[in-house]
Structure formats: structure tokens, C-alpha cells
Amino acid sequence: MSELFSQRFRGFYPVIIDVETAGFNAQTDALLQIAATLVDMDSTGRLVVKETVFHNVLPFEGANLEEAALKFTGITDPWHPLRYAIDENEALKDIFKAVRKGMKAAGCQRAILVGHNAAFDLGFLNAVIERTAQKRSPFHPFVSFDTTTLAALALGQTVLAKACPAAGLDFDNAEAHAADYDAERTAQLFCHIVNRWQDLGGWPLPAPAEDAESAPQDQSLAP
């Protein structure tokens, strides 16, 4: 299985990440939730959703909290004790531990972030990595897989709440905008699209045709 997995994405291990934040600016606005959903591959090369690591996160010191963003996420009090929130450094270390374990089992060399509007999630992930001075991140710093683009291509939809039903997947708007729920639904969507591509014959690739220059020449055409 590890050989199949490592070959599928050129040695990259896809990890679905979703963040809930107190604004749009990764440098100044607080990270409030982060979830990482891991995937596995069966003996036929099909992706399956494995497990999710989730944490509520305490705002870093001096973080900006946009009131509109707090209302949108429903996290009106980021310091509420029943959130059982932990600091950014602790949350990231726990997620990285799970990612490295999954990456090793898959025979991959590096993790790659998969997200719905991946640039947003990757921006916040990279900001937290820098802010907490993580020395070794398993994630590629700028390459990502965006399910917004994949869903537009495969399903004609770009919004997660519409792409999931188009793929035959359940989506509950009442549960949305929680990092663990959105990460798991994004993971299901990603697996569906990748597996559908395989079902349609798009993967594995056919053996490359013999290079024309190295192919035997028809001597009957020689001058």
C-alpha cells in the first residue's frame, strides 16, 4: 500500500486542513480552531478517510479579533473554559505528530495541504509555524491541493456545501464552519474526486509510448 500511496502524488502525503479564524489576515488575526484529517489508501489504490485531529486554539498574545468573524464562526468567547482551548504551539505539535505518523505509514517524504480555498488555510498554517518557531514542519510551504478547483472541474461546483451533495455526500449547514466538520467533509470530497478519476481510467497513467528517436527505424524507407 505504501508504494501505491507514495507513487500517487509524487511522494506527497495529502492532509486535509481546515482553520477557523478571527479574521482574514493570517499575520494579525487569531487562529481559533484547526483540524487535520488524514487519509489512507486501500489495496486497489482508492483513498479513504482515516482520522481527524482537532483542537480549539487560544488567540495568541496581541491577536486581532474581528467581531464579524466571531459571529460567523459562533465562537463569541475564544477564552471560554468549556472550549478546552490550547495554545498554538501545542496544537501544532500534536497535529504534526499525527501527520508524520501517517506520512511514514504511507511511505511519503512530505505532507501537502489539501483545503477548500487552500491558500487561506495554508496562509494561516504558515503564519502559525513562523509565530511558534517550528523548526521542522512536515508540510510543503507553498504547494497545496485546492478542492475548490477540483470540485469545479469534476462537479461544476465551487462551494463546499454544494459540491458535497453533487458528489452524493451529506452536508449539514448547521454543522458547517467548525474546523473538524469542514475538514472531514473536505476530505470526503477530495477522496471522492480522486477515486472517481481512477474509476474513469485517469489513473494509473498508461505506460509511456516509446520515444520516437529511440524506436527502430524502418529500413525500407532509407534512401
Catalytic residue among 55, 140, 177, 192: 177
* C-beta separation of 135 from 167 below 8 A: no
Catalytic site includes residue 177:
yes
User: What sign does the CA torsion over 39, 130, 77, 96 have?
Assistant: positive
Q: Is 18 annotated among the ligand-binding residues?
A: yes
Q: Is 61 annotated among the ligand-binding residues?
A: no
**DSSP 3-state of 123:** helix
Q: Is 177 annotated among the ligand-binding residues?
A: yes
Burial level of 169, CB count in 10 A (0-12/13-18/19+)?
middle
Strand partners, 54: 35
**DSSP 3-state of 132:** coil
Q: Is 90 annotated among the ligand-binding residues?
A: no
Q: Where are the alpha helices (DSSP H) in 88-178?
A: 88-106, 118-131, 147-155, 160-166
Closest by CA to 73, choosing from 209, 177, 206, is: 177
Place of cell 504551539: 89
Annotated binding site for Mg(2+): 18, 20, 177, 182
What are the binding residues?
18, 20, 177, 182
The catalytic residues are 177
